[in-house]
Each structure stands twice: as C-alpha cells, then as structure tokens.
C-alpha cells in the first residue's frame, strides 16, 4: 500500500472546518464525487450490514426545498452536493438475508456456509425493539459520516456536518417513506468561500488530558 | 496542504478489515499512538461539543478483565491497545459552559461574545430528554470511531470495531460511573496476525446502485 506521511491525516483534519459559506460556483468533479462515494461505500459498519442508504442531491430545485426544511441554512443550496444519510426504517431479518446473499455471491460460497454468522445477526436484530434498531442503524450511518468527512478533508474538499433540519420534511421531499428510509444526518459537500470567516478561527478541541484516559 | 493520491483513501479502506486475530507480539509505537489520538481529538462532532471521552487501555490485567466482559473475544487481550469510546452520562448545561470557556480561551475572546451560540446549544440540550441526549452523544462518538478506523487504515494499523460487550461490566471495570461516563463502542487496535484468514476474504459491500440514490 502507498505510504502516507505521519502528520498527513492530522493536517487534513486541521484544515477542515464546519463550512458555513460555500462558493456556489464551485462543483465537485466527477472524479471527486466518485472518490467520496467509494469511501462511504467502504466505510465499516457493525457486522458489515450497512443498514442505511445515502442520497446525493445536486438538483437545484430539490436543494431549494431542502434549504426551507433546514431553517434556511445557505449550505443546502450553495454546496455542490448534499449527502443525506438515511437509515433503513423497518429493519428486519429480510435485510440480513439480503446481506447474506451478497456475502455468498461476493465470496463464491453458499448461504448455507455462513448459517452460523447469519443466525448471530438475526438473533441480534430480533432481540432489539424497533427503537433500539433505529438508534443502532443511525449510529452505523455516523461511522460512514465520519469516513466521508475525513476523506473529503484529505482530498481538500469542504464539508459541513448538519443535524439541524426537519427530518419529516426531508423524508417527504426525498420520498424516503416509499423506500423504507428515514433521514438521520446530512453533510453539505463542496468548496469554501473565501468570504467564510469561520475558516480563520482557531479550532477548539478538548485537551489531551480532558479527552483521553490511559489505563 | 500535502496532496494525497486520488485512490489512496479507497486503497486504505480496502486494505483494512475487521481484524479477528491480532499478533500479540506487535505493539503500537508511541508515534503511532499519538497520531491516532490526534485524529480522534480532531474528529468533528455536532457543535464541536465532543460529548464523550476515550479510554485507551494497554494494561494486560485490565485487558484480561475486559475480555471476560466481551464474551472472551481474543482481540481484547491480543490487540495492542483498546480504545473505549464513552459518552458523557448526565449531559447538562454545565458541559456547554465548559465548552464555551474552551472556545473563549482558544480564540482569545470573552464567553459573552458567543452568548448567542451558547444559548442555541443550551436550547438544544434542554429540549432533549436524557434518553435522547444519550443517543445523540453516542452518535457523536461514532463519528470519532469512523475517523479512528480510517486513520488507522491510512497508516497501516489494524483495528476492529466491536459492539459485542457488556457495557455495564465495562463501566464497572473501568470505573466509568465515577467519571460520569458510559461505554458505547470499542475499537481494538494493533496489527493483524498472518494466521487471520479473514484478511483474505473479498470485502462485501452494497453495490453502488443499492447504496446511493442520486437526485
């Protein structure tokens, strides 16, 4: 594997910030969009279940509607693309079975060969209420969100994690109910405007001693 | 900023896998540990609140106890370090005030200068039940988990995301209640054993068409 400089991830994470003002004239290239999608696709999740889908919105009219459903925040229209992470709404054994078929096809084996693993996953799913599954699935989407934000920064693409939006309105605008999906979190992705003063502020983080406990 | 090759993040994410068997003779160097900690510290979170702390366990006796509380999974003892993400248990306005002081000190301003932002955060915190705050805080920790897993892969460090452990037992072993913390998810970090057959399996992911919806 290609080596990366020791300080390269930290530099990228310092360069990034929650972009407030995007340059609306700058759009992601097809290559940039592909590399972000690939990172999201490869993101880890519990058991590898990926209990979510990701909507990528670039249509200007739809972005305008999403902005209204997000308290008018300008990122929704000015960023190049909006990534909407949506968890699977009713999550059942059927989704485990679909995953099992994908495993079998990808690895050239029979579903019967992984019966033990499938039973463990079904046991987990069946032991949880729909509320617990909703939280579990949302958390998996947040792992993919973290991977998206870091990957963007490494490639000098700006992004803003956003939780401040009306989930029900988003679901309506994007037709998510018909797809058995519910929006959980979004990231606006594009390029910072030079007018965005936030890029010049010192990054605020818990100190090493306040964040970490060594045992 | 240093440039990174276009396919470098995808290559790293393909190289990684949920490591089942760690080489117990291989330990993270101090440099490697520092770069992982720095990435976790720089990870984004909602409002930048970082409503969690991270325990890093290398003590062999404690790792042995954690293994018992994690259904005997060998990663707990054989990995070099165990990262335990623990959310703030009772999350209140006090934590927002501590963050406000950190912002003011980091940016050389008065807390009064950011009263509007602080009020928004307090409004959010006060509008949520303790259950809702617990889920919210846990999700923020999962962003940091995603950043840890990607950063490890980029630097050819192995890791395994693990949710299968007894949270209450972990909290007891690590003395988390006294610190107002509750364990939410862990990552075992170290180096794969050449005996771990899982590293040779094809990675299974949803196809582009099953994961993404373009609008």
Q: Do the domain assignments include residue A40?
A: yes
Q: Strand pairing of B52-57 and A212-214?
A: parallel
B35 touches B150 (CB < 8 A): no
The answer to whether residues B88 and B183 touch, using CB atoms and an 8 Å cutoff, is no
Q: Give the pLDDT mean for A5-30.
A: 95
- Helical spans, DSSP H, in B108-163: 115-126, 130-154
pLDDT at B28: 98
- pLDDT for position A5: 85
Using CA atoms, how far residue B15 sits from A9, A137, A144, A204, B116, in Å, is 17, 24, 17, 32, 45
- Say what the pLDDT of residue B6 is: 84
ipTM, 2 dp:
0.96
Q: Is residue B132 part of a domain?
A: yes
Contact B199, B192 (CB under 8 A): yes
Q: CB-CB: which of B62, B151, B204 is closest to A48?
A: B204
Chain B CB contacts of A96 under 8 Å are none
So what's the pLDDT on residue B8?
92
Could you tell me if residue A100 is inside a domain? Answer: no
* B142-187 pLDDT per residue, tens: 999 999 999 999 999 999 999 999 999 999 999 999 999 999 999 9
Three-class SS state of A164: coil
Mean pLDDT value across chain B: 96
CATH of the domain at A146: 3.40.109.10
- Whether B211 has a pLDDT exceeding 90, the answer reads yes
| CB pair distance less than 8 Å for B161 and A179 | no
Contacts of B100 in chain A (CB under 8 A): none
- Local confidence band at B5 (pLDDT 50, 70, 90 cut-offs): confident
pLDDT in tens, A23-75: 999 999 999 999 999 999 999 999 999 999 999 999 999 999 999 999 999 99
B1 falls in which pLDDT band (50, 70, 90)?
Answer: confident
Tell if the CB–CB gap between B35 and A10 is shorter than 8 Å: yes
Contact A39 B9 (CB under 8 A): yes
Q: Is pLDDT above 80 for B3?
A: no
pLDDT at A6: 84
Domain range holding B133?
20-165+181-208
Q: What is the mean pLDDT of residues B46-54?
A: 97
A151, A36 contact by CB (below 8 A): yes
A37 within domain boundaries: yes
Q: What digits encode the pLDDT tens for the residues B69-123? A: 999 999 999 999 999 999 999 999 999 999 999 999 999 999 999 999 999 999 9
Rounded Cα–Cα distance for residues B59 and B197 (Å): 27
Q: What is the distance of C-alpha A214 from the center of its chain? A: 30
Residue B147, domain member (yes or no) = yes
Inter-chain residue contact A35 with B5, CB threshold 8 Å: no
pLDDT above 80 for A2: no
* B49 Cβ contact list (under 8 Å, min separation 6): B95, B96, B99, B121, B140
Beta bridge partners of A189: A81, A159
Residue A130 lies in a domain: no
Give B106's Cβ-side CA count (13 Å radius): 15
A 10 A CB-CB count for B83 gives: 26
Structurally, chain A folds into a number of domains equal to: 1
CB-based contact B13 A39, cutoff 8 Å: yes
Q: What is the per-residue pLDDT for A108?
A: 95
Q: What percent of chain B has pLDDT over 70?
A: 100
Q: What is the pLDDT of residue B169?
A: 97
Distance from CA of A197 to the nearest CA of B (A): 13
Q: In a mutagenesis test of the A interface, which of B10, B33, B49, B146 is the best target, namely the one with the most A β-carbons within 10 Å?
A: B146
């Amino acid at each position: 594997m290609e080596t990366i400089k020791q300080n390269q991830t930290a530099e990228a994470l310092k360069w990034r910030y929650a972009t407030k003002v995007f340059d609306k004239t700058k759009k992601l290239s097809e290559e940039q969009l592909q590399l972000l999608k690939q990172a999201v696709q490869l993101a880890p999740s519990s058991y590898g279940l990926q209990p979510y889908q990701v909507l990528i919105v670039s249509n200007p009219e739809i972005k305008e509607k999403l902005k209204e459903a997000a308290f008018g925040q300008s990122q929704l229209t000015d960023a190049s693309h909006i990534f909407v992470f949506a968890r699977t709404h009713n999550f059942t054994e059927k989704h485990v079975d679909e995953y099992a078929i994908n495993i079998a096809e990808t690895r050239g084996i029979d579903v019967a060969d992984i019966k033990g693993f499938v039973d463990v996953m079904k046991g987990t799913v069946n032991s949880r209420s729909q509320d617990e599954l909703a939280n579990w699935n949302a958390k998996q989407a947040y792992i993919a969100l973290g991977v998206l934000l870091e990957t963007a920064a490494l490639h000098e693409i700006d992004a803003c994690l956003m939780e401040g939006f009306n989930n029900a309105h988003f679901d309506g605008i994007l037709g998510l109910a018909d797809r058995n999906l519910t929006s959980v979190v979004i990231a606006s992705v594009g390029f910072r405007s030079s007018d965005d003063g936030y890029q010049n502020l010192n990054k605020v983080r818990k100190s090493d001693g306040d964040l970490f406990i060594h045992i």
